[in-house]
Amino acid sequence: MARKKSIYYQYSNQADNVIEDGKPLYKTIKGKWNEVYFKNNNPIVLELACGKGEYTVGLARLFPDKNFIGIDIKGDRIARGSMEANESNLKNVAFLRAGIKYLHEFFVENEVDEIWLVHPDPKVRQREENQRLTNQNFLTYYATYLKDNGIFHLKTDSPFLYDYSLSSIQEAEQYQIIQYTSDLYHSELYENHYGITTHYEKIFVEKGYTINYIKAQIKKQTP
């Protein structure tokens, strides 16, 4: 396993579609994703805590007129998404190796059109609330980089995180919930996940878990 991880880390280090510490763009890409990396003015979509980048790559195939950035701290994980994107010759894909709390080092206000958060760790212990990726602090943080009318998506197999997130998003000043369901696969919102399932999502569904989904829109106050 260690050798396999080493191979993925090496691939990530050499891949042009992976931006990580030690590469030139890591320190200079902030606010310049369209201009410098994608070289177009298409909308930017982030997948936070992207893991192997199933959504980043899957959505990029479906929407060639949008730019997708998968963000994760694990280099061996994003290397797999990087490989798949390169094998499919997807030019609208990038991966950023960084923690979510460092978004401010790579993006400027109103640079992002859409954010996906897919099956994050629910952090069910009360003492872990400050680590839940849909708490008030994180939601405010995301809203900084999302444009007015930008979209935030959450998919989770955790009823706990779903209920917590519904409440948290409802309380967030700049968010307006558009759609939500506690059983995505058996709802009229089924098409919202575009038929993209992560490795663990398939396992969850086979075990009888339902998939929860929330779609919210950013509403920023004008001066």
Distance, CA of 134 to CA of 122 (rounded, Å) = 9
The region that residue 164 occupies, defined by phi over 0 for left and psi between -120 and 50 for alpha, beta otherwise, is alpha
The amino acid present at 183, given as its one-letter code, is D
Sequence-separated (6 or more) residues with CB below 8 Å from residue 134: 117, 120, 154, 161, 164, 165, 168, 169
The amino acid present at 221, given as its one-letter code, is Q
Sequence-separated (6 or more) residues with CB below 8 Å from residue 167: none
The region that residue 212 occupies, defined by phi over 0 for left and psi between -120 and 50 for alpha, beta otherwise, is beta
Catalytic residue among 16, 121, 163, 183: 121
16 is catalytic: no
Q: 125 vs 101, 129, 156, CA distance in Å?
A: 20, 7, 17
DSSP state of 222: P
Place of tokens 């993925």: 8
DSSP string, 16-42: TTEE-TTSTHHHH-TT-IIIIII-S--
- Looking at the annotation, which residues are catalytic? 121
